[in-house]
Structure 1
Amino acid sequence: MLVSNTLLQVIEGHNYLDLITNAARYRIILMKDEVIRIRCSFDEQFVEEASYVLAMTAWEDKLDSIVDGRKKIEALPVNYQDSDTQFVLSTQKLNVIIHKQPFAIEIQDKQGTVLHADLKERSYVKDKQGRLYHYSCMNDEDYFYGFGEKAGALNKKKRRMRMHNVDTLGYDSEHTDPLYKHIPFYIKLNGKTQQATGLFYHNSYDSVFDMGCERSGYWNPYSYFCADGGELDIFFMYGPEIKDVVRHYTDLTGKTILPAKYSLGYMGSTMYYTELEKDSDKAILSFLDKCKEEGIPCDGFFMSSGYTTGQDGKRYVFNWNNDRFPDPKAFIGELMQKGAALVPNIKPGMLTTHPLYKEFDEAGAYVKDQNGEGPQTDRYWGGLASFVDFTNPEGRALWKKHLKESFISLGVTSIWNDNNEYEINNEDALCDFEGEGKPISELRPIMPNLMAQMAKEAIAEVEPNIRPYIVNRAGFAGIQRFAQTWAGDNSTSWKSLKFNIPVILGMGLSGVANQGCDIGGFFGPAPEPELFVRWVQNGIFQPRFSIHSCNTDNTVTEPWMYPSYTKYIREAIRLRYKLAPYFYSLLFEASTEGSPVMRPLVYEFQQDARVWEESFDFMLGRSILVANVLEEQAKTRKVYLPKGCDWIEWNSKKRYAGGQTIEFDVTLASIPMFLRTGAIVPMAVGLNNLHQDVMEELRLIIEPSEDASFVLYEDDGLTNDYQRGAYLQTTIRVKAGQETVISFSNEGEYDSTLKTLVIDLICKEIAPVQVKLQGRKLAMFLDPKEWNDQAEGWYYDTEQKTAKIKYSQLQTDYEVSVHFDVKDLISI
């Protein structure tokens, strides 16, 4: 076993510092004031920089030409002070202290608060099996979040978790580990200092995090990361807020790709239709017609892999079953006419009986056996298969060729990448790795990322101005740059409904803002009516909203499967469509800032200790607290409202002080939601299809008792014209006071379709006395019917304590001022 205990030599390079110890070599790079890279190798030299993952570097990398949009920055100069016992490197925000003996690295803020400390005498270790360990000190006050897609509660303290992609059909969302994603990143919040930091381990070998599960009386409390190989390549990120850490992490690994707007709609799906003996196309088209008949909006259909079934009953990627789909191009065209995108399921494992197997084999496009002499085969759905090697230029080229021929040439610009965990059991199977060769054990989780990248590139090569919509089941750090993800084949149960929420919240804290789960449950019997209603009511808040099933009792999970309950499903989905402008603006924020869409309460209320372990109530963006009913036969619901603001119940507009737990009655129709003070929520009126309907009226809910701002984002939702300036960012600012001013300032060149804007201004104590638009008084109405008939004006809803202000949308920057002076009717 090798352990770094003594610092022997310091070598200063250009914007880095190399440290030579008795066991390993280290390189410290100050990337930014808040981001420190610590690279550790137990070999004599570092391997060549070659990352498929990093979106930001401060060095040359072998794969720069392959990683699209990688940003290069200049690292900070390395200035340090030397003393008898330590070196100290400094940035504007941090001090990095290198203890000479025993060797360890400690990071402090400028006030001397310890943010991270290696466990001295066993900080960096390599064992006889080649496994690498990094041990960190931990405190009783520490809370740990992130880790990608992990089952169980939000806080992962006292958990041991394995990082490995695996196909976990019917998993237990509270206990199963690992799941489909492999993201070796976490956020630590210290409850005593209330400061947040992050650690990203840039290592794609299988690994383990132990967050205080292991203890030893000989050592202070510790956590550790253990990887099966590679290097300990660690990126430390400083907050002090959780949202700062997430922003820095997504600077490193990339922001969430801005999706096509229709992806926010309801996406129908089931395995059942594509397993019919024939006429699966008609079944899917009939599904869309039924949606319209039932008044349920729908914008697409995830088509399961039964469409690829060959004569022998096996699934063959890129193959269309002509009994089920006689004319794929015509079918896709009919879907588009009905306002729905087709999202076909594709898989990277190709059965040895596949008609295209030989073509890929002759091109050397598969992951090879350990001798590099032929394709590696392994278990897969349907039999033995080989797996396309996306680290091989030939594999990438062939894959894109068949994507274009089978789908994109027919009008498909949405791809569903499934079963891409690369469960190859021979750890020594060889990947091409751009001609240099590396074992699958080092590259397994990278493959699904590259698979998504190839879909993005293939669509761009055929339809350069169409925005791709890609969905991935597996992935590594950075998957958000290419794809929306979902939490795989969940089981049908109340537990899945409940614990899929922290699974999604953890992904959001791990950089993947666009995420969801199969609504209603994928694997198991049909959900009983109450469970189905509650799952839809929860699912409408997930960025990916799809009811998808493979029921084990010969049923199909459809919105109308329980006719007497369809009204609840319909109303929930319609609420989803009303919130579409808010969702789209939040996804734009994710694409620029890295912010999650669904946010754990601790993300917004880090100073409130009572939310540090809240796993099930969450924020939708900054403004809306969602407290879904998650318990069977619930008649009441308790919810803790975080301190620091007031809360307004969504429907009644009843106001509550923060920092208290309230209890209220619920019915099957209940979707408990609360607005925080300072909320700004844009909502659509009359949208039933995001492909075809034009948003002409916008409803803007504003709670104006504190200063706030929100960016409403608009573009055409389908093309890449936004990258060339065809977008509109409207910054809405609220200046609170006796005269409340709501200002609108625009950036961009997109011609908005909005014609009418209605502001629902939630008033705290009194009604307005006057409303002005650009200094011009708006007419005040006492009768809401009369107000409704006019093009502009305002009235006060006494029951809701809401001033409703309506006017024609202006194309320039402007202000609305609302005066809250008390009008003295007596003295006059």
Structure 2
Amino acid sequence: MKISNKILSIKNHDNYLDIDTNAAKYRIILLNDEIVRIRCTFDEEFEEEASYTLVMTAWKDKMDDLLKGERKRVEAVSSRYEDFDTYILLSTKKLNINIYKEPFAIEITDKEGNVLHSDLKERSYVKDTLGRLYHYSCMDDEDYFYGFGEKTGYLNKKKRRMRMHNVDTIGYDSEYTDPLYKHIPFYVKYNNTNSIASGVFYHNSYDSTFDMGCERSGYWNKYSYFCADGGELDVFFIYGPKIKDVIRNYTDLTGKTAMPTKYSLGYMGSTMYYTELDKNSDKAILQFLDRCKEEGIPCDGFFMSSGYTTGEDGKRYVFNWNQDRFENPASFVSQVNEKGASLAPNIKPGMLTSHPLYKKFDEAGAYIKDEKEEKSQIDRYWGGPASFVDFTNPKGRELWKKHLTESLVSLGITSIWNDNNEYEINDSEAVCYFEGMKKEVSALRPIMPNLMAFMAKETIAEVYPNTRPYITNRAGFAGIQRYAQTWAGDNNTSWKSLKFNIPVILGMGLSGVANQGCDIGGFFGQAPEPELFVRWVQNGIFQPRFSIHSCNNDNTVTEPWMYPSYTKYIREAIKLRYKLVPYLYSMLFEAATEGSPVMRPLVYEFENDKKVLEESFDFMFGSSILVANVVDKGAKIRKVYLPKGTAWFDWNTKQIYQGGQTIEVEVALGSIPMFFRSGAIIPMAESLMNIHNDSIETLKFLIEPSEESSFVLYEDDGNTNNYKNGEYLKTLVSLKRNNGVKITFEKEGNYDKQPKEINIDLICKDIAPVQVSLKDKKLPMFLDIRQWEVSEEGWYFDIEQKTAKIKYANIVGNYELNINFSVKDLISI
């Protein structure tokens, strides 16, 4: 066993510091004022820099050319240090890094002296006799831990031991199963004593384990540890001080969420059932789209399960179309598009040895090799023995892109569903090409699904250069958000899954992956009972990926109209989703620029409220809406804690509640308990039924003006890359108070397809307006709502909901709206 206990030498290279200890070498790089890299190896030399994950570096990297469209090179902060005899001090504008000489340990504080991270002295960096690497950190009783990627159970992971590994966990228990499909070795620590958040990212893709205080020894201070099966201890410390700052900085490092296609925000139909029919699966999918329209249920796409690839032997062969089920694939794709939907076909990176293309990939050397590099590695897969495409090999990448183009993309398909890509290769010594450097698969397993998504992105870009791709992945590593939307795999159909899938999604959002979700209605098991199905859809409408998907084991198919007497509840929920599309699209723009999650745990917005530090099931939808879904069978009452520091308004009744209290809400089957906060600015679309084909003629804002605030409404064409060239519209909507309310609209960008009319529901909790002015022009006031409804502009006060309803023709440039609340003295008149 090797333990670093004593510094032997220090060498300053101006922008990084090299330290030799009695057991390991360290390289300290101050990437910027908020991110510190601590690289540790127990080998003679550091490995060559070669990362598929990082998009911000301050050093030359083997993957610079491959990632040239994504990676940014920055200049590191000076590594000049001060020597204080027992320790040396490195500094940035925000952090102090104290490196103790003996016993060797690293401590990071802010400028006020708050300890943000501290190695466990005498046991900080360790390599055991089996080659496993450990990093031990001190832990405080008031520490809370969030993130860790796709993890089951409650939001706070304190006193949890979790394994980082990709595995196909069909029918998993959403409270206890570990691991799942994603491998993201990153977490956020929030200390409740000093109210400071920080993060730690381990840039290591070997299988690993986090122990967040589950282990305890009386001989040491309380600690947590990270243990990796190999590689280096490559640690990135990330400063906040707020949780949202940590997420922003982490996604600066590993990438922001890809800007999605707008239609991907719609309802995406799916089921394994249709593509497993003996014939005419194409007609079943087209009939599904027609039925959605007949039922008044919006739908913008269909995830097509892998049954479409089935060969004559009943096995699935990627890139193969089953002609009995899909007589004319090109015509079918065209018909789906004509119905206002996009098709997302399922593809898998494991190719069965009986695959018609197997020999071609094998002869090209496109598969992962066995440990002797003599032949393609063959392993267990769905359907039989298979080899796996090596996406670290240019030959594998190019051949995959060729067949992806020929079989799917050339037909007009620009939505790709990457499935079963966990790379469960049992021989950990199987060899990946790794851009010519050769490395065992155990070092690169979770990288493969990221590169698979990267290849889908590149393929679509090569065939349709100006088309925005829509890629969905089941597996992934840190940085997967740059390429793909994700979902939490094959969940079990149960009330528990409905409930505990919520913190799974929230944890992913705190791990940089904003665009994700879970199968709605449950994937594995019997058909959901009516009440469970309704509640699941009511929750699912807030997930960025909204798809009802099933593989029921009772010979049924989960469809929106499966229970006719309950269809109205399904329809109402999905239509609410479509109503919120402008708000949701703006949030995904925020994710693409700031890294912010869409579904946010309450602690993300209200971290100073101690009562929300453990909240796992109620969440914020963006910054303004609190959602408290009904997730318990037969519930008649829903208790909701409303965070302090703001007032809250019931979504439907507009009843006001002060924050910092728990309320009880009566619920019926159609209830979706929602509350918006004071200062909320929420854009909505009226009557949107298809994102592909419908334009938003009337844009509505729900505005609560008792607090000054702002919101960025983002608009573009939703399909092309023209937004990168200025064809977008960012509207900064700001609320200001000064003897009334002023709402300003400041616009940036060249996108000119704006809504024709603006409607505003302005909450007026104390007093009705006396006058509303648009660009210094007084708008007419109506006493009769019927007259207001037929007018082109004006306002009306709804006394029951205490809401001023304002409308006017949209204005191209910047403008302001003024609302006067002076009391009109009728008696003296």
Partner residue in 1 for 2:386: 385
Partner residue in 2 for 1:432: 433
Partner residue in 2 for 1:247: 248
Matches within 5 A, 1:678-827: 678-827=679-828
Name the SS of the counterpart of 2:808 in structure 1.
strand
Kindly state the Cα deviation for residue 753 of structure 1 after the two structures are TM-superposed: 3.0
Matches within 5 A, 1:540-689: 540-689=541-690
Question: For each residue in 1:57-84, what CA deviation from the matched residue of structure 2 results, as whole angstroms up to 9, or x when unmatched?
Answer: 0111011011231011100111211011
Partner residue in 2 for 1:17: 17
Code of the residue aligned with 1:65 in structure 2: it is D
Flag structure 1 segments of 5+ consecutive residues without an equivalent.
Answer: none
Code of the residue aligned with 2:710 in structure 1: it is S
Partner residue in 2 for 1:65: 65
Partner residue in 2 for 1:2: 2
Partner residue in 1 for 2:364: 363
Name the SS of the counterpart of 2:629 in structure 1.
coil
Code of the residue aligned with 2:115 in structure 1: it is V
Question: For each residue in 1:619-642, what CA deviation from the matched residue of structure 2 results, as whole angstroms up to 9, or x when unmatched?
Answer: 000000000000000000000000
1-structure distance, mates of 2:65, 2:495: 47
Number of residue-to-residue matches in the alignment = 828
Partner residue in 1 for 2:295: 294
Code of the residue aligned with 1:551 in structure 2: it is N
Code of the residue aligned with 1:428 in structure 2: it is E
2-structure distance, mates of 1:14, 1:489: 50
Name the SS of the counterpart of 1:451 in structure 2.
helix
2-structure distance, mates of 1:600, 1:620: 9
Kindly state the Cα deviation for residue 258 of structure 1 after the two structures are TM-superposed: 0.4
Partner residue in 2 for 1:233: 234
Name the SS of the counterpart of 2:436 in structure 1.
coil
Name the SS of the counterpart of 1:331 in structure 2.
helix
Kindly state the Cα deviation for residue 557 of structure 1 after the two structures are TM-superposed: 0.1
Kindly state the Cα deviation for residue 738 of structure 1 after the two structures are TM-superposed: 2.9
Partner residue in 1 for 2:259: 258
Code of the residue aligned with 2:369 in structure 1: it is K
Q: Where has structure 1 moved over 6 Å in runs of 4 or more?
A: none
Partner residue in 2 for 1:129: 130
Kindly state the Cα deviation for residue 739 of structure 1 after the two structures are TM-superposed: 1.5
2-structure distance, mates of 1:691, 1:21: 61
Asked whether the 8 Å contact 2:532–2:633 carries over to 1, the reply is yes
Name the SS of the counterpart of 1:518 in structure 2.
coil
Kindly state the Cα deviation for residue 492 of structure 1 after the two structures are TM-superposed: 0.1
Matches within 5 A, 1:42-191: 42-67=42-67, 68-191=69-192
Asked whether the 8 Å contact 1:728–1:752 carries over to 2, the reply is no
Asked whether the 8 Å contact 1:429–1:440 carries over to 2, the reply is yes
Asked whether the 8 Å contact 2:14–2:80 carries over to 1, the reply is no
1-structure distance, mates of 2:316, 2:207: 29
Question: For each residue in 1:457-483, what CA deviation from the matched residue of structure 2 results, as whole angstroms up to 9, or x when unmatched?
Answer: 000000000000000000000000000
Question: For each residue in 1:402-437, what CA deviation from the matched residue of structure 2 results, as whole angstroms up to 9, or x when unmatched?
Answer: 010001100000000000000000000000001110
2-structure distance, mates of 1:365, 1:134: 36
Same amino acid, percent of matched pairs: 73
Asked whether the 8 Å contact 2:679–2:705 carries over to 1, the reply is yes
Determine whether 1:221 maps to 2:222: yes
Code of the residue aligned with 1:11 in structure 2: it is K
Name the SS of the counterpart of 1:358 in structure 2.
helix
Code of the residue aligned with 1:581 in structure 2: it is P
Asked whether the 8 Å contact 1:705–1:737 carries over to 2, the reply is no
Name the SS of the counterpart of 2:107 in structure 1.
strand
Determine whether 1:504 maps to 2:495: no
Code of the residue aligned with 1:264 in structure 2: it is L
Partner residue in 2 for 1:38: 38
Asked whether the 8 Å contact 1:262–1:299 carries over to 2, the reply is yes
Determine whether 1:318 maps to 2:319: yes
Kindly state the Cα deviation for residue 656 of structure 1 after the two structures are TM-superposed: 0.2
Question: For each residue in 1:538-591, what CA deviation from the matched residue of structure 2 results, as whole angstroms up to 9, or x when unmatched?
Answer: 000000000000000000000000000000000000000000000100000000
Code of the residue aligned with 2:20 in structure 1: it is I
Partner residue in 2 for 1:344: 345
Code of the residue aligned with 1:15 in structure 2: it is N
1-structure distance, mates of 2:316, 2:407: 15
Kindly state the Cα deviation for residue 737 of structure 1 after the two structures are TM-superposed: 3.9
Question: For each residue in 1:332-371, what CA deviation from the matched residue of structure 2 results, as whole angstroms up to 9, or x when unmatched?
Answer: 0000000000000000000000000000000000000000
TM-score relative to the length of structure 1:
1.00
Code of the residue aligned with 2:64 in structure 1: it is D
Question: For each residue in 1:135-167, what CA deviation from the matched residue of structure 2 results, as whole angstroms up to 9, or x when unmatched?
Answer: 000011000000000000000000000000000
Code of the residue aligned with 2:549 in structure 1: it is H
1-structure distance, mates of 2:565, 2:392: 52
2-structure distance, mates of 1:752, 1:281: 35
Asked whether the 8 Å contact 1:694–1:753 carries over to 2, the reply is no
Code of the residue aligned with 1:803 in structure 2: it is A
Partner residue in 1 for 2:284: 283
1-structure distance, mates of 2:701, 2:81: 53
Question: For each residue in 1:727-765, what CA deviation from the matched residue of structure 2 results, as whole angstroms up to 9, or x when unmatched?
Answer: 000010001343210000111000133000001001120
Code of the residue aligned with 2:165 in structure 1: it is H
2-structure distance, mates of 1:120, 1:43: 21
Asked whether the 8 Å contact 2:12–2:80 carries over to 1, the reply is no
Partner residue in 2 for 1:532: 533
Kindly state the Cα deviation for residue 14 of structure 1 after the two structures are TM-superposed: 3.1
Code of the residue aligned with 2:59 in structure 1: it is W
Partner residue in 2 for 1:306: 307
Code of the residue aligned with 2:4 in structure 1: it is S
1-structure distance, mates of 2:331, 2:384: 32
* CA-based RMSD: 0.5
Code of the residue aligned with 1:537 in structure 2: it is Q
TM-score relative to the length of structure 2:
1.00
2-structure distance, mates of 1:659, 1:443: 47
Partner residue in 2 for 1:27: 27
Kindly state the Cα deviation for residue 45 of structure 1 after the two structures are TM-superposed: 1.2
Question: For each residue in 1:173-231, what CA deviation from the matched residue of structure 2 results, as whole angstroms up to 9, or x when unmatched?
Answer: 00000000000000000011110000000000000000000000000000000000000
Name the SS of the counterpart of 2:518 in structure 1.
strand
Matches within 5 A, 1:484-499: 484-499=485-500
Kindly state the Cα deviation for residue 825 of structure 1 after the two structures are TM-superposed: 0.9
1-structure distance, mates of 2:242, 2:279: 55
2-structure distance, mates of 1:109, 1:102: 22
2-structure distance, mates of 1:574, 1:250: 32
Name the SS of the counterpart of 1:565 in structure 2.
helix
2-structure distance, mates of 1:181, 1:358: 30
Code of the residue aligned with 2:393 in structure 1: it is N
Kindly state the Cα deviation for residue 686 of structure 1 after the two structures are TM-superposed: 1.1
Asked whether the 8 Å contact 2:30–2:92 carries over to 1, the reply is yes
2-structure distance, mates of 1:678, 1:224: 42
Kindly state the Cα deviation for residue 827 of structure 1 after the two structures are TM-superposed: 1.4
Flag structure 2 segments of 5+ consecutive residues without an equivalent.
Answer: none
Name the SS of the counterpart of 1:434 in structure 2.
helix
Code of the residue aligned with 1:61 in structure 2: it is D
Partner residue in 1 for 2:397: 396
Code of the residue aligned with 1:233 in structure 2: it is D
